[in-house]
Chain A
């Protein structure tokens, strides 16, 4: 059974800091992993989908890494801005070749101006 843990649960940083959000999962038989952000009262926005063959995926100031063997993924945010304040969710698939995503409970990020 896939279980997902995100650490820390909440994080507050001053603007301009680089930061790392962590995600661990128990079933490493996955082909990819997705990161999303969710603003309060809104739906989810896809940030990055990283394939197991890639190890890293970048989009602007965001960089995601994936280490299947250790069951870990990290999301690196460079030069944080107040607009980055949101909840960040990690979602590997249930296991194997499936579209059924299992979500962590997220990291609530607050970037102080």
Chain B
């Protein structure tokens, strides 16, 4: 398995509070991604990074921000959580070339009350 960890694995928070999810990799891969998975929608890309300090938006980026200050860490922040952001969040990584296989982390279950 690719060396990807996500923290926390489970979180319950209240509407309006900030939340930060962390993805950590030990593979030294260039690309990192944040997805959310919801019933009926499948997985959707939120943001991705193609290098340190280099990020781009995905399909559903509104309400989310990301940061990558080191190759191994990619942070996803919900500035003011809403109930519609209740979801399972997955981090993924891929190698140095474009369009290589993506490897996924175990996921974070977030419940916003």
Tally B residues with Cβ within 8 Å of A.
25
B99 touches A43 (CB 8 A): no
**Which residues B63-113 have CB closer than 8 A to chain A?**
90, 92, 94, 98-107
Determine whether the beta carbon of B42 is less than 8 Å from that of A101: no
**CB-defined interface of A72-101 with B at 8 Å, one 1/0 digit per residue?**
000000000000000001010100011111
Contact present for A97 and B103 (CB under 8 Å): no
Query: Known contacts being A32-B99, A99-B31, A99-B48, is A43 close to B42, with CB within 8 Å?
Result: no
29 A–B contacts from the bound complex (CB under 8 Å): A31-B99, A32-B99, A34-B101, A36-B104, A42-B106, A43-B104, A43-B106, A44-B43, A44-B104, A46-B101, A46-B104, A49-B100, A49-B101, A97-B98, A97-B99, A98-B98, A99-B33, A99-B50, A99-B98, A99-B99, A100-B45, A100-B48, A100-B58, A100-B59, A101-B45, A101-B102, A102-B59, A105-B42, A106-B42
What are the 3 closest A-B residue pairs judged by CB atoms, nearest first? A44-B104, A103-B43, A43-B104
